[in-house]
Structure 1
Amino acid sequence: MSSTVPLNRTTAGVLFGVVSSVAFGAGGPFAKALIAAGFSPLQAVWVRLIGTVVVLVALCLALRRPGQLTTMARYKWPIALYGLVAVAACQVLYFVAASRLPVGIAILLEFTGPVLVVGWEKLVRHAHVARESAIGVGVAMLGLAIVVQIWSGVHLDAVGLAAGLGAGAGNATYFLLIDRLAGTVDPLTLTTGGMTVGMVVLTPLAAPWSAPWHVLGHSVPLGSHHLPGWTLAAFVVLISTILSYLTGAAAVQRLSATVAAGLAYVEPASATVVAWVTLGERLSPTQLAGGVIVLAGAYLAQRGIGRNTGAEGDSTRSILGTTVTTEALIP
């Protein structure tokens, strides 16, 4: 019996991690379909945020966890920065990139976040960076050059390319803020507060009152298929945001740092596959090879950071260069 329980726990952790990564990566094509149907990238993000906030606030009220409002008030400025940069800016820039580039390339650009974290630690904080992390940065940059085919003068859409790299910066900010708030603000509180801030900030910019809400009641093209618009929005909110968050937290509780971090790299692969199946988007063999190199480099960079943080004690785990507590990650 003693050997069965750990096996079941590990298997469940791997399943949770894969579900989380696939769910998050699959959201891009559905959001892209909404944008193509008439929503602006800002409005598509606002729909995602308002739906997520409603569900998370309801979850917080149902759980009745004491001290959440006090925690939000105490750490209001870090949470506000999280909502502005890691939630609002990152998601808007990713949606802009996904609307102008193949979804697979857009999410690869966003996944330069762990690489940027290494650069921040080295160049800004002047912290020691493991040799493995430095090598990973170089490998990831090489892969990125292959993905954008820099030898041909970068023929990808310039705005989409810039937006994708901006989403990578927002992704890096997410990791750095989580690291700062580790042990003080639990993920549910941080996510609810950050999503709320992002929604409020984006409201005047997205102008949801002028959004084409009628699209949600009509059939929307998704590649060669047609689905009701509301199902696309529901997928983005319930599957690629809330389900991804909850199952990701469950995976962290059950797996080692290295395994949990490695599973997150299923996201770009799943986004590419879902975009190919739903939208018919295909990357060239050269771009696919570059994508594999980007992920390998980012994984090396994360492993180097993980070894540094792992030396600080057994109470923390590194997730894509992020230090998070292993207690109470999900309610």
Structure 2
Amino acid sequence: MNVRPSDLRSIALPVALLLIAMASVQTGASLAKSLFPVVGAQGATALRLIFASVLMLLILRPWRATFTANSLRSVLLYGVALGGMNFLFYMSIRTTPLGIAVALEFTGPLAVALMHSRRLADFVWIALAVTGLALLIPSGQAHGLDLTGALYALGAGVCWAGYILAGQKAGADHGVQTAALGVLIAAILIAPIGVAHAGSAMLDPVLIPVALGVAVLSTALPYSLEMIALTRMPVRTFGTLMSMEPAVGALSGLIFLHESLSLTQWLAISAIIVASAGATLTTRPEPAALVPCD
């Protein structure tokens, strides 16, 4: 069977966009760590969300949409989950290698995918994910992994699960405009924490280019690319490819932050990736959730 060049291009383009989006998110996380010595993870999260909310409000203009009281409640839950996910993830990568933090955080969407597990294959993916976690945390402690940082990453995973569930409901009426309001709510929630921790250091003009770069790389650019990719590929394919993100995070940490992992940690991350991809491929199709912004 011959595959036409136009068909190959139609497949290659969304895949390339998604890979660029994942690389952008993890590069943004690496860049955000350069802010930690000045404003801490708390201030870096606040700056990212503030700049991202301004960008997304200007681009998506959510005030043009009409929200009911019920939809606003869903958007509020979505924004709180988004803020908690971003905050806990940045708190994690203070002391946890980026690839490990992403892998631990990925247990959240994996749990959502397996929430209604009934078939044998589903329990295979659960067992594989648990094996990955069992390998990751004990081996990580042997290699200096901070348990508190690992718990922050797992907490981010819980928020990510809440983000998916709330995002499906909140985004049903207004799509990406919901995302702009969600990021604004997250910024309002996290900004006081950042200010309380970093104080006037957050107003340093020198930080503005870096904070803007983090907002673009971690939110505006990947979100836009992922939305384009979603319209050009099946949701199941999208979810399977997204399962590669822990590996992309590990490579980003190695390249930009010089964070090396042991063989056991790579195997553990691989187990979580396979579990996530397998769960995506074998679960029944669901409506697409809004794309997370780590």
TM-score range, shorter chain: 0.7 to 0.9
**Which of 261, 264, 280 pairs up with 1:283?**
261
Q: Distance in 1 between matches of 2:246 and 2:238?
A: 15
Amino acid at match of 1:292: S
* Correspondence for 1:164: 153
**Alignment CA distance shift 1:324-1:285 (3 Å):** same
Amino acid at match of 2:78: Y
* Correspondence for 1:223: none
Structure 1 residue 74 displacement after superposition: 4.9
Whether the 8 Å CA contact 2:47–2:211 is kept in 1: the answer is yes
**Residues 118-161 of structure 1, C-alpha deviation per residue, up to 9 Å, x if partnerless?**
45x34xxxxx5343222112101101111112697796212111
Structure 1 residue 231 displacement after superposition: 4.1
Amino acid at match of 2:11: T
Structure 1 residue 241 displacement after superposition: 1.0
* Correspondence for 2:110: 115
**What's the % identity of the aligned pairs?**
22
* Correspondence for 1:270: 248
Q: State the SS of the aligned residue for 2:174.
A: coil
Structure 1 residue 46 displacement after superposition: 0.9
Q: State the SS of the aligned residue for 1:254.
A: coil
Matched, 1:258 2:236: yes
Amino acid at match of 1:40: G
Q: Distance in 1 between matches of 2:64 and 2:136?
A: 46
Structure (1/2) with the larger strand percentage:
1
Q: Which runs of 5+ in 2 are unaligned?
A: none
Whether the 8 Å CA contact 2:43–2:202 is kept in 1: the answer is no
Give the count of matched residue pairs: 287
Whether the 8 Å CA contact 1:25–1:268 is kept in 2: the answer is no
Q: Distance in 2 between matches of 1:27 and 1:275?
A: 11
Q: Distance in 2 between matches of 1:285 and 1:181?
A: 41
* Correspondence for 1:245: 223
* Correspondence for 2:73: 77
Q: Distance in 1 between matches of 2:249 and 2:141?
A: 25
Q: Distance in 2 between matches of 1:49 and 1:151?
A: 30
Whether the 8 Å CA contact 2:79–2:186 is kept in 1: the answer is yes
* Correspondence for 2:280: 302
**Which of 85, 89, 94 pairs up with 1:90?**
85
Amino acid at match of 1:198: A
Whether the 8 Å CA contact 1:72–1:189 is kept in 2: the answer is no
**Alignment CA distance shift 1:118-1:250 (3 Å):** closer
Matched, 1:33 2:28: no
Matched, 1:146 2:135: yes
Matches within 5 A, 1:105-254: 105-118=100-113, 121-122=115-116, 129-149=118-138, 156-181=145-170, 183-186=172-175, 188-207=176-195, 210-213=199-202, 217=206, 229-254=207-232
Q: Structure 2-normalised TM-score?
A: 0.88
Q: Which runs of 5+ in 1 are unaligned?
A: 123-127, 218-228, 310-317, 327-331
Structure 1 residue 205 displacement after superposition: 2.1
Structure 1 residue 232 displacement after superposition: 3.1
Q: Distance in 2 between matches of 1:242 and 1:182?
A: 17
Amino acid at match of 2:48: R
Whether the 8 Å CA contact 1:129–1:304 is kept in 2: the answer is no
Whether the 8 Å CA contact 1:149–1:155 is kept in 2: the answer is no
**Alignment CA distance shift 1:39-1:149 (3 Å):** same
Structure 1 residue 182 displacement after superposition: 5.3
* Correspondence for 2:11: 10
**Residues 45-101 of structure 1, C-alpha deviation per residue, up to 9 Å, x if partnerless?**
11111111111111124xxx7851x1375511111011111x111111100110011
Q: State the SS of the aligned residue for 1:100.
A: coil
Q: Distance in 2 between matches of 1:166 and 1:142?
A: 19
Q: Structure 1-normalised TM-score?
A: 0.79
Whether the 8 Å CA contact 1:137–1:298 is kept in 2: the answer is no
Q: Distance in 2 between matches of 1:164 and 1:238?
A: 22
